[in-house]
Amino acid sequence: MKRRALFVGIALLFLAILAWVLTLKTLGPSLPGYEITARPLVQTVVATGRVTAVSRAQVGSPVTGVVVERRVREGDVVKPGDVLVVLRADDLEATVREAQAALAQLQQSTRPQAQAALREAEAQSAQASREVQRRRALFDQQAISREEMERAIQAETVARAAAEQARLNLQSLVAGNPNETAARARLASAQAQLAKTTIRAEVGGTVLTRNAEPGDLVQPGRVLFEIAEEGDTEVRVPLDEKNLEVLAIGQPAMCVTDAYPAQPFQAKVSFIAPGVDAQRGTVDIRLAVSSPADFLRQDMTVTVNIETGRRDQAMAVPNDAFISTEGNKALLWVVANDRVTRRQVELGLRGMAQTEVTAGLQVGDKILANGRAAVAEDDRVRLRVVPTALPAGMADPSTRRELPAKLN
């Protein structure tokens, strides 16, 4: 009896297991899936850039000289005209002294000498005229020969010519004459060159870098300081060129620095480069920061989250549900009455995590979570619905545009 009871128990257990297996086979496998709901969806492009000023000025020396004094360092705020560096240039100083000496000689020596020479020539001319008058009287009395008379007239002519020449020489040396103007111009040029040994800030801003110390020999072409000009702050970001399709001027962005992750700030896309870097395959964009925070520093690393699209209510499908995509169309498995059916849908906003479906689905439809699941058309399945919503406050991030695959 005991053995018969044992056999009966084993048989019943076997029949129960067989019935369970047949039931599972009839109902189909249990697979995870999603129930379509409408909710807000934001598409973003995430990338890394750096804080920079709208404009930077590189300050160099226009002359060769030795640094004798440096008056600023990194982080100092300067105004236009502030002295940055003082140089020593002995050759320029000597040129100034030489030009000053030439002008002084013209004014204090050459001009007085010309005035004295004119007075002497005029006196000699007057004396020669009087001598002619005396000789003419004697000639009329036949007291002297005609030859003596002619010599007196010739002497008068020579004296008058000398006086005229002295007068012309003095006129060429009056104030404002070409010689003095040229001398003053040479002096001004020499002084201007010497003034270049005092290097001043041409723009106001913050000193970013310095490359000059007392004792350094500097030459034209060498950058001594880099100044971030006063004005708006920007964030410059290189983006994959695949994002060009969704980028537009004026799009808002949320920026977070690596140094201050708890203090995000707002920005807007203000510029999209007209060309693409052929080697890197990137396009540079600029984000204008209207109210820069005090903690921002030049060249800070910043993570930017650019909002490229927004829907107040969208049917967002996780990307793992798609069998394949091509352009703005995709295929996925729809579950209805415990059976799967392949369906083509149209896509809208696209991201790395979720994609908007604009046509082909309705709120309340159920789809397989794994588009690559080993199922066939009209197979039975037991759908296990899993959550599709992202954590509160999160957008659908997209760091690049995905290349489309062919529809099966």
pLDDT in tens, 234-246: 899 999 888 888 8
User: What average pLDDT is seen over the chain?
Assistant: 79
Residue 149: HSE in the Cβ half-sphere, 13 Å Cα cutoff: 13
pLDDT value for 392: 33
3-class secondary structure, 360: coil
User: What separation in angstroms does the CA of 183 have from each of 108, 110, 167, 172, 293?
Assistant: 13, 13, 21, 13, 56
CATH entry 2.40.50.100 includes domain 56-89+197-229: yes
pLDDT in tens, 327-354: 888 898 888 888 888 889 898 887 767 8
Task: Indicate yes or no: pTM above 0.85.
Answer: no
In this predicted structure, the answer to whether residue 37 has a pLDDT above a threshold of 90 is no
pLDDT more than 70, % of the chain: 82
Contact 39, 313 (CB under 8 A): yes
d(CA 375, CA 382): 12
d(CA 10, CA 16): 10
Flag the least confident range among 111-115, 234-238, 247-251, 266-270: 111-115
Element (H, E) at 121: helix 111-140
Buried b (16+ CB within 10 A) or exposed e, 129-143: eebbeebeeebeeee
d(CA 225, CA 230): 15
In this predicted structure, the answer to whether residue 307 has a pLDDT above a threshold of 70 is yes
pLDDT in tens, 17-27: 654 544 445 56
**Beta strands across the sheet bearing 217-218:** 198-200, 83-88, 65-70, 217-218
Given pLDDT bands bounded at 50, 70 and 90, which one contains residue 109?
Answer: low
- Long-range contacts from 169-175, C-beta under 8 angstroms, 24+ separation: 169/114, 169/117, 169/118, 170/111, 170/114, 170/115, 170/117, 170/118, 173/106, 173/110, 173/111, 173/114, 174/111
Helical residues (DSSP H) of 247-369, grouped into ranges:
none
Q: Which two tokens stand for residue 215?
A: 């004792």
pLDDT in tens, 72-86: 888 888 888 889 999
3-class secondary structure, 338: coil
pLDDT value for 390: 47
Q: Which two tokens stand for residue 119?
A: 């007075």
d(CA 40, CA 91): 74
**At the top level of CATH, which class does the domain 30-54+231-408 belong to?**
mainly beta
Least Cα distance to 372 among 321, 317, 308, 303 occurs for 321
- Residue that has been written with the tokens 């640094």 in this structure: 67
- Residue that has been written with the tokens 């409408």 in this structure: 38
In this predicted structure, the answer to whether residue 172 has a pLDDT above a threshold of 50 is yes
Given pLDDT bands bounded at 50, 70 and 90, which one contains residue 402?
Answer: very low
